[in-house]
Structure 1
């Protein structure tokens, strides 16, 4: 029997069969681009038609006047950082120089145009977003990403960053990824569709269009074998012998690879060798393929050696480039040849790429047949270059491969440990475990064993059961410092200190940590040491930490890392006004560096502290951004903490349903991991909501959990800073004696710390508990204390004092304090407490004007952050750089806000929003 339909070999059907729903979705993206941008990720198995849909998307976009920019991931280029991004940006590279300085420099570094380190890949993402936004301002843009599963990780990360920020841009991204292969864009949370096999009816229509003269039995078997896969339906008829087909039992992909392999086997020998070189090459240059094939064959070859492969539909040749019609064709060629032939081809490519050291190193590694220190050194250098360009994933891959090629066990350990350290930074727990499992503990030096232990314990802030405990880490830090590596010792001890924040290790562990910290050869004013002391012993070391913070205030030189440590330390000891100052400085310094993971942590500290001060105008957008960035940088505990702070803010604003919803979401995160600060803040939010609704017994129960050592919401530091809320709830539900016991317990700590939050709370509680003339004196003492920067607490004192005076039948005296409370709460937006003050004033014989909603209350938290920055005089570009948005997105948001605020220009923002304090 003859070969079926040989004349159809490699032919593509001119029409897409059965893809009307997918085409409608693509058309909607194109048609709606003037209103909103967006992204769509298509999933499906190999050959299902994703490439055809992407071609249709490009055609739709071109017909609508869009500019189409493309990139295709290839398995061979996965270890070349930002190789995929090069493809997208090359046609618009002339716009790089118009970017703001830091973004331009970051993108130049990332693209290898200058030899400087990339500060952070998120900054590269912002540069790409702004570059594309500028292009789209003239002509809307469609980004097409084919074979997303093979993108280099750095490109995938940048595209994920960009894709989350397209709502207000005339830009759409359409990507396709293969089922069964880790999709590097899936983590971006893009809208997605599954491209399913064709229905039986549609598959039959397609097969009849491609091969109308098929024997009935063969047609039936082909339809069964193809199972609705368009690639199989178009490729198998022209390739497979019918007898072989009727006996086939292979999986579809293997059947297709076998079919493509049969085409290769029919080629002339020199063409097969040249095609193997092309399949193994990590580029698409015809010149590279011909030069390497010449080296393998030992004779000159010209482009005509590739023409037979093009004629049978395996490749497409253009003037200088070669592309495979489908990735399965590339893999079929590789699998059809032996190891010796592949090694020879890889070696030849390495020789051709002598002026491209990164690509050369990977081809040399692929050609190696055993350990080779020379190649390992080249891979290590490639890892250095990848890391400088922001390609952390590529650096990890290079170091792992270098470790396997290392000839000495100690060199292998160094390289693998460095790869594992980078994997921690990258957040890949499974990779860390796999890397560490690849080295034998017997081959490690004491310092290397210390590094391995530290690396294993670097995830989840110590909340995982399989990580080292605080005491073990403290002893490890002690030994590392004794070996002379004080910086690593401090890193390890800081990690141990963080465990005292997220979990409760007990008094013994805390004491061991402080003993080790005291013994380290570092200055007592070292910011890291102050932060460790604050996290481990916030009460016992409170005075010393506070003194250190005051000494360092104003002397940080704007170093965001120093200010981050100091802000965290200040929050732990209840110095919230200092905490907001330091954390604001830290966030401002970390933003231009693009370090969004640290920005999220810093903003969470800022929001927590600002909320306790009552500065909701600052806390609200900070908490919203902290949650968004924590989710984007895969920090679930920080996300939970930020959500819990949002719940607290909602409770203070009288949005009780929203507060309880946010608290429940945060609690899910906190309970799953036992993250005590998250759970403590959840209980604080619930207590405030209960207080606002007059459910005082519920509030007392909610807040009391934070002080109970047996409760998972107990947190050593934070329990000291909710005493005022608990005092109000306890007095109002008649639990006065319980409150007295709590106050006596906390008063024991007062001599050890100058914590403003603790002392303010104790003075408030003492005034509430006092009787007769003592109460008046204690209220006056509390109000005479320095409450600069603590408006919420001052307002609370005025309200409580006014209520007490009214109960003493001193209505005239009470009105002074109640009026002050009302004005304070009105200004802060603490609605429930504002209404309480109004109610008390009415009872005291004075009516209050209706509260006019603050302009800020009309805006979402995200809009508020933009509006406040604009009110401060920042340009759209500056706001975009601060918030990691394009300046055009900022402009869109501002113009949407103006009607809400009843204004027509940004010049009016400062008037309607009023002054903003950090």
Structure 2
């Protein structure tokens, strides 16, 4: 293999080809593999994909390619990939089958969530790979439509035990990073493809150039190409034989400052310029038609009266292939053709394509071509685009909906109607995750003569855009102003907007004038029907802002009771996360647990992955306070994977919370610091409070009370609508340990004002524990006993264990060593069992100080399970089937089966029936604590 050349003819690509060969070996062995092949235009990514296909004997191959002009058509890339596999569609569960059918326009139905579509694609790939290894190849992934990119990135992150590979080829920008419009692939395994070595570059030039090549010209070409194979082949085409032989260098028409991709494109342009006019026109039509439908191209060419043999010169030049499909030699050829044409020439090509497109079977592309052919305002085309937008929305293509609405607005003659359509397009752009584009369209809408309702909606949208762009502090007052304008226009929308303002205020810690919220809530009250769950929630939060915690408790309790109702309306379900936040604020763990469980279930059932990460985070929080860290870990990992796949930012990154409660110092500090920076930059007060509170928990567990005190004070500096109560708990303990009596007394007073108003066992148990810490003398014992009694009544293992711990520490200082040991043993056993390592170590040190040597508990076999294995095992133990577990956890049934195989091996069992006995019962911890001696 002299010069690094392989049998495939790829020079200098030994490392890359070997990596692809290993990928195929793994897939044939039953493992899933994902790879992003990344490099600049012309570096050889497509050639590597060709190598992969050539070596994929015994594998089924599914292919797709992103096309720049097709980026607005929802699920276009996904349909390319899945179309050959649709014969397996009937094997999917009905919800997944219907979602995929609707997304592809095969069936009519409500708009599917794009990640329910993703679960269907995951199932489809799993079904195909069950029969033969599957290679999914996605070229030019930077030009995938957003819906396809998000679904495919999600699927790539959920593959595990299928004999399937997904290989993406992505063009790097000048900085070597992913295409800015598609961050979804970031973090997946990568194969970076760089330039050839000078030795291989010179060898490739020898292959490409027949005849003498001056050494100075050779050196200049190699230097200019920087190892890019396509550049090495294309740039010399611009030189005459005399220039190649005589050393005159590259022509002046190719400026050195032009980026390499632009220079290659310019090279293609010069070759195109030498072709006959009819050939150039034919290539333009082909460039404007992204599907590569040869029959459609012929019909469009007939309408333009292009000669039948016009393709021959372009084929001879090696620029394009005409067969069943039309394929350009390289995407740069397509872009060069399209960009070189005049606006009139492009419009003529699109007009011909629109006329040649079937008006019954391909309405969307026909409408898009008609829109591109329009010279100025055209109400007929605008109306057709509106209908197309409706169809795109029905398929769940939010980005496509936004694109069609945007173009419809541009083609609308009437100024007021244009503004209304621009407003609708801006809203769709925001929903599609493009807040910058939404802001531009909102500015356009603002220049139009809108009616009062649309003016209010525009103001609301601007606030939502500000929130999405990270300008969180601006959103709450803007939303309140919008709500005030909506009161006389739409009472229901006014109250919804007011609730959005309060929710934004919780996240940012800055609400503005809370009196406005109370006034609007009262003004917008409807007397025609009794208040529902969201009405009560709004009234309670408005009261909370204006009159304080205690005044809001009765109303918020009623709101939580309404949210627990089995017949909760669909429009109220979107606020389950906020109800969970309120339940936590009211120290109502039982309601928090129930509502968070329902929120995750509803999000999973609907495949609503825009909602699921937040729902999962609140569910994880309920698990954390129950000491169920494994279950919390699975949910937080799932939330992180989803937000990564969707490219959306978490409103309150809780990633540092779990390692802090577990006492994993190094991991927790890194995550807390990263979240702190992000929250500060985005103006997220609740996220700051959450992470500072987690930091205080970590340091109190480690016995670093000075650091805990500082972190708790920072957490309490945030708005009281965030995690103020939990932060006060940590502040009391840290202040007592630091002998900051005045600060401890102040924090305890503020804490008791809340816990007393709540009146729950959790609240009063926490209050009693804190009073015990802050009390000197024998009376402290009464508080500690009350804390243990109250905290034993719920699933609050960490809080109960800490009550035993501080009681034991107090008993030791009182020289009641025997009684101290009983409490400290109980605390250590519970903390060690749930994995709260820092607090468990604190209990161990205290026990050692009493003269008792503590042995760490034997690690049970289930402790070897990963978080995901444990969750799957629990679900299987409850009788769930593999498809049911897969649907709930967004995994394929085969991956679930693979995890269960590992679970059985680790637990030493052979059937699902044995799972229930083999897994731990966390409830035993609480029961055991109730029977433990209390002194």
Q: Shorter-chain TM-score category?
A: 0.7 to 0.9
The question of 1:561 aligning with 2:583 is answered no
- Quick one: distance in 2 between partners of 1:740 and 1:378? 69
Quick one: structure 1 residues 244 and 80, their matched pair in 2 at CA, closer, same or farther if it must change by over 3 Å?
farther
- The equivalent position to 1:61 in structure 2, one of 50, 56, 59, is 56
- Quick one: distance in 2 between partners of 1:345 and 1:836? 76
- Quick one: distance in 2 between partners of 1:184 and 1:472? 28
- Quick one: distance in 1 between partners of 2:786 and 2:281? 91
Structure 1 residue 236: Cα displacement: 5.8
Show the counterpart of 1:94.
87
Are the aligned partners of 1:99 and 1:127 in contact in 2 as well (CA < 8 Å)?
yes
Show the counterpart of 2:930.
none
| Secondary structure of the corresponding residue to residue 253 of structure 2 | coil
Show the counterpart of 1:350.
354
The question of 1:366 aligning with 2:365 is answered no
Matches within 5 A, 1:317-396: 317-318=322-323, 320-353=324-357, 354-355=359-360, 356-396=362-402
The question of 1:888 aligning with 2:881 is answered no
Structure 1 residue 801: Cα displacement: 4.5
Matches within 5 A, 1:400-411: 400-411=406-417
Are the aligned partners of 2:438 and 2:465 in contact in 1 as well (CA < 8 Å)?
no
Matches within 5 A, 1:735-884: 735-749=740-754, 752-754=757-759, 757-770=762-775, 774-785=779-790, 787-801=793-807, 804=810, 821=827, 824-825=830-831, 828-833=834-839, 851-853=857-859, 855-884=861-890
Are the aligned partners of 1:99 and 1:131 in contact in 2 as well (CA < 8 Å)?
yes
The question of 1:450 aligning with 2:456 is answered yes
| Secondary structure of the corresponding residue to residue 857 of structure 2 | coil
1:293-348 per-position Cα deviation (integer Å, ceiling 9, x unaligned): 22222x9x65x553443233232122x32222222333343345443343233222
Show the counterpart of 1:544.
555
- The equivalent position to 1:188 in structure 2, one of 177, 185, 199, is 185
Structure 1 residue 544: Cα displacement: 1.4
- Quick one: distance in 2 between partners of 1:288 and 1:758? 70
Show the counterpart of 2:165.
172
Show the counterpart of 1:626.
639
Quick one: structure 1 residues 317 and 729, their matched pair in 2 at CA, closer, same or farther if it must change by over 3 Å?
same
| Secondary structure of the corresponding residue to residue 740 of structure 1 | helix
- Quick one: distance in 1 between partners of 2:672 and 2:236? 60
Are the aligned partners of 1:691 and 1:729 in contact in 2 as well (CA < 8 Å)?
yes
Structure 1 residue 143: Cα displacement: 1.7
Matches within 5 A, 1:19-98: 19-33=13-27, 34=29, 36-62=31-57, 65-98=58-91
Are the aligned partners of 2:563 and 2:576 in contact in 1 as well (CA < 8 Å)?
no
Are the aligned partners of 2:419 and 2:448 in contact in 1 as well (CA < 8 Å)?
no
Structure 1 residue 107: Cα displacement: 0.9
- Quick one: distance in 1 between partners of 2:224 and 2:838? 68
- Quick one: distance in 1 between partners of 2:634 and 2:280? 61
| Secondary structure of the corresponding residue to residue 16 of structure 1 | coil
1:371-395 per-position Cα deviation (integer Å, ceiling 9, x unaligned): 1111111112212222222222222
- Quick one: distance in 2 between partners of 1:819 and 1:471? 52
1:641-688 per-position Cα deviation (integer Å, ceiling 9, x unaligned): x2132233322xxx3444334333333333333433333233333333
Structure 1 residue 81: Cα displacement: 1.6
Quick one: structure 1 residues 203 and 677, their matched pair in 2 at CA, closer, same or farther if it must change by over 3 Å?
same
- Quick one: distance in 1 between partners of 2:199 and 2:809? 79
Quick one: structure 1 residues 747 and 183, their matched pair in 2 at CA, closer, same or farther if it must change by over 3 Å?
closer
Quick one: structure 1 residues 337 and 426, their matched pair in 2 at CA, closer, same or farther if it must change by over 3 Å?
closer
- Quick one: distance in 1 between partners of 2:199 and 2:842? 70
Quick one: structure 1 residues 680 and 334, their matched pair in 2 at CA, closer, same or farther if it must change by over 3 Å?
closer
The question of 1:581 aligning with 2:594 is answered yes
| Secondary structure of the corresponding residue to residue 351 of structure 2 | helix
Comparing 394-403 with 170-179, greater Cα deviation is found at: 170-179
The question of 1:598 aligning with 2:632 is answered no
1:758-814 per-position Cα deviation (integer Å, ceiling 9, x unaligned): 433223223444456644444454455483333443444444445556666767776
Are the aligned partners of 1:637 and 1:675 in contact in 2 as well (CA < 8 Å)?
no
Are the aligned partners of 1:315 and 1:325 in contact in 2 as well (CA < 8 Å)?
yes
- Quick one: distance in 2 between partners of 1:257 and 1:700? 62
Show the counterpart of 1:645.
657
| TM-score, normalised by the number of residues in structure 2 | 0.86
- The equivalent position to 2:520 in structure 1, one of 495, 505, 516, is 516
- Quick one: distance in 1 between partners of 2:452 and 2:623? 45
Show the counterpart of 1:212.
210
Are the aligned partners of 1:145 and 1:175 in contact in 2 as well (CA < 8 Å)?
yes
Structure 1 residue 631: Cα displacement: 3.5
- Quick one: distance in 1 between partners of 2:243 and 2:267? 11
- Quick one: distance in 1 between partners of 2:66 and 2:842? 62
Structure 1 residue 128: Cα displacement: 1.0
The question of 1:432 aligning with 2:444 is answered no
Are the aligned partners of 1:604 and 1:638 in contact in 2 as well (CA < 8 Å)?
no
- The equivalent position to 2:137 in structure 1, one of 130, 135, 144, is 144
Are the aligned partners of 1:647 and 1:682 in contact in 2 as well (CA < 8 Å)?
no
- Quick one: distance in 2 between partners of 1:841 and 1:248? 83
| TM-score, normalised by the number of residues in structure 1 | 0.88
- Quick one: distance in 2 between partners of 1:906 and 1:360? 55
Quick one: structure 1 residues 650 and 451, their matched pair in 2 at CA, closer, same or farther if it must change by over 3 Å?
same
Which runs of 5 or more residues in structure 2 are unaligned?
1-6, 927-935
Structure 1 residue 262: Cα displacement: 5.5
Are the aligned partners of 1:571 and 1:605 in contact in 2 as well (CA < 8 Å)?
no
Quick one: structure 1 residues 103 and 714, their matched pair in 2 at CA, closer, same or farther if it must change by over 3 Å?
same
Comparing 39-48 with 800-809, greater Cα deviation is found at: 800-809
Are the aligned partners of 1:648 and 1:681 in contact in 2 as well (CA < 8 Å)?
no
- Quick one: distance in 2 between partners of 1:899 and 1:378? 60
Show the counterpart of 1:492.
497
Structure 1 residue 244: Cα displacement: 8.9
The question of 1:231 aligning with 2:234 is answered no
Quick one: structure 1 residues 53 and 22, their matched pair in 2 at CA, closer, same or farther if it must change by over 3 Å?
same
Which runs of 5 or more residues in structure 1 are unaligned?
1-12
The question of 1:116 aligning with 2:103 is answered no
Quick one: structure 1 residues 176 and 680, their matched pair in 2 at CA, closer, same or farther if it must change by over 3 Å?
same
Structure 1 residue 518: Cα displacement: 2.8
Show the counterpart of 1:691.
700
Are the aligned partners of 1:871 and 1:907 in contact in 2 as well (CA < 8 Å)?
yes
Structure 1 segments, 4+ long, off by >6 Å, are 809-816, 838-849
How many residues are aligned here? 890
- Quick one: distance in 2 between partners of 1:232 and 1:463? 39
- Quick one: distance in 2 between partners of 1:758 and 1:728? 16
| Secondary structure of the corresponding residue to residue 793 of structure 1 | helix
Structure 1 residue 287: Cα displacement: 1.8
Comparing 677-686 with 144-153, greater Cα deviation is found at: 677-686
Quick one: structure 1 residues 814 and 115, their matched pair in 2 at CA, closer, same or farther if it must change by over 3 Å?
same
Comparing 154-163 with 441-450, greater Cα deviation is found at: 441-450
